[in-house]
Structure 1
């Protein structure tokens, strides 16, 4: 019989969100997140790059008073990376918890950012934590760890650029409460850029209007539109005295495409709002 262990073993204060992250809701996502947490339901955040998925999780971790364990998923991330591993330390062999096991032991929110990028064996680890079982089997330790009531699993997913080979399976998607985030409306996005950078309203609105036009190029070959994050970067550079052309091209053109025709199209859009 595998042993059930107490999950609240340690306190990881370094994972706590000390100050309130700035976040303006697009809709009812904050209330939905709170309801999911209260009812011990996992959440999947869907949306394009830079649409506020990570900021929402940070804001909610602060609001709920829970530590946040963030994992940036990548091609080489395996289930063992989430669980933990034995390492050699001097003459001893020591077990080191992975971020998911730390959250299961201690409570808190674990955030798997772009989970579809990870290896497929990670779903074997995740699935038992997303239904009524809420446990993690650690075969190397021969133990089962049960998640406490204040544990929550959140993952993000960008369906816009996922390939057939990296599509998230229905068997995984349908284990989560899904919150869809898109680009904020013009007024909201303008306020976000202003609040984050201190730039004047006229400049912030011009950046947002230009971004809206650039996002329409998605139908003409652009992989993704300008993210709110890039608008914040652009406004930050402008506010720091960087020449307009340099600030806009380094944030709203070069990161989006290598295609010369698309770059020219973006340049024409920017000329409608700024002297570049």
Structure 2
């Protein structure tokens, strides 16, 4: 596998060490944290570090076990079986990343249970087969505990099958460095964007479903670096994605204009 052009990732703790030991001990890993805090980038980075193929599934409410395991299709005059991404990862020894696993249907959780304990095997009901996972197979899932709390939760019995790492927004100095490294934006703009991000994150009284992620700040940095005026860049990349409520929009725009 190509190891050049490793995705940029700025470690904020011992997450790389935990990941490497989980991989070594064949333990599934759960990444917990808000949207846009670097969970997916971290997985991409670790796949490159370990020189492993990564198969990513972006889970949603329609994601079923059939989507992951595989299905029969009609090919000419024959009915043939096509492996799904989970089955492929189990056979090939890839890292399977289930992004936002709590969004998937319950049968997905059932399907991965036997892969998250000592058995490390996948039962394919439609074939009547059980496949032992490749030596290098690893199951990684991400989960946003704060999103739609009470509606999309992982059961304790599921969570306890994983080693877990918590992700959060990085401290200001590190977040500024991330923006500069990712986009080549100037240092002063990066610092002001981080100030904006932290101010909005602390405005819990606004009742925002999601707050300012590092991803949004990266987007704003890219727009600024490409020449779009700073105020417009922040409005378009940071403020508008957060809410449709006009009063909240105006309040956020005023706050950002003051900082800029």
Give the shorter-chain TM-score range. over 0.9
Aligned equivalent of 1:208, options 173, 182, 194? 194
Aligned mates of 1:232, 1:30 — CA distance in 2: 22
1:99 aligns with 2:99: no
Deviations 1:17-40 (A, max 9, x none): 753110001111010111111011
**Gap change, CA 1:17 and 1:136, over 3 Å in 2:** farther
Aligned mates of 1:119, 1:167 — CA distance in 2: 12
Q: Do 1:17 and 1:68's aligned partners in 2 also have CA atoms closer than 8 Å?
A: no
Aligned mates of 2:226, 2:235 — CA distance in 1: 15
Aligned mates of 1:94, 1:109 — CA distance in 2: 26
Q: Do 1:137 and 1:143's aligned partners in 2 also have CA atoms closer than 8 Å?
A: yes
Deviations 1:44-85 (A, max 9, x none): 001111000000000000001110000000111101111000
Unaligned runs of 5+ in 1: 1-12
Aligned mates of 1:20, 1:83 — CA distance in 2: 29
Once structures 1 and 2 are overlaid, which stretch shifts more, 241-250 or 202-211?
A: 241-250
Q: Do 1:215 and 1:224's aligned partners in 2 also have CA atoms closer than 8 Å?
A: no
Aligned mates of 1:195, 1:261 — CA distance in 2: 34
1:237 aligns with 2:213: no
Alignment of 1:214-233 (within 5 A): 214-233=200-219
Q: CA deviation at 1:247?
A: 1.1
Q: Do 1:128 and 1:134's aligned partners in 2 also have CA atoms closer than 8 Å?
A: yes
Q: Do 1:234 and 1:247's aligned partners in 2 also have CA atoms closer than 8 Å?
A: yes
Tell me the equivalent position of 2:42. 56
Tell me the equivalent position of 1:248. 234
**Gap change, CA 1:111 and 1:217, over 3 Å in 2:** same
Aligned mates of 1:167, 1:18 — CA distance in 2: 37
Aligned equivalent of 2:75, options 77, 89, 96? 89
Aligned mates of 1:19, 1:68 — CA distance in 2: 15
Tell me the equivalent position of 2:32. 46
Alignment size in residue pairs:
260
Q: Do 1:84 and 1:101's aligned partners in 2 also have CA atoms closer than 8 Å?
A: yes
State the Cα RMSD in Å: 1.3
Alignment of 1:160-199 (within 5 A): 160-199=146-185
Deviations 1:225-244 (A, max 9, x none): 11111111101001111122
**Gap change, CA 1:162 and 1:174, over 3 Å in 2:** farther
Q: CA deviation at 1:272?
A: 2.0
Q: Do 1:197 and 1:239's aligned partners in 2 also have CA atoms closer than 8 Å?
A: yes
Give TM-score scaled by structure 1 length: 0.91
Structure 1 runs (4+) greater than 4 angstroms displaced: none
Unaligned runs of 5+ in 2: none
Aligned mates of 1:17, 1:221 — CA distance in 2: 43
Q: Do 1:40 and 1:152's aligned partners in 2 also have CA atoms closer than 8 Å?
A: yes
Q: CA deviation at 1:267?
A: 1.2
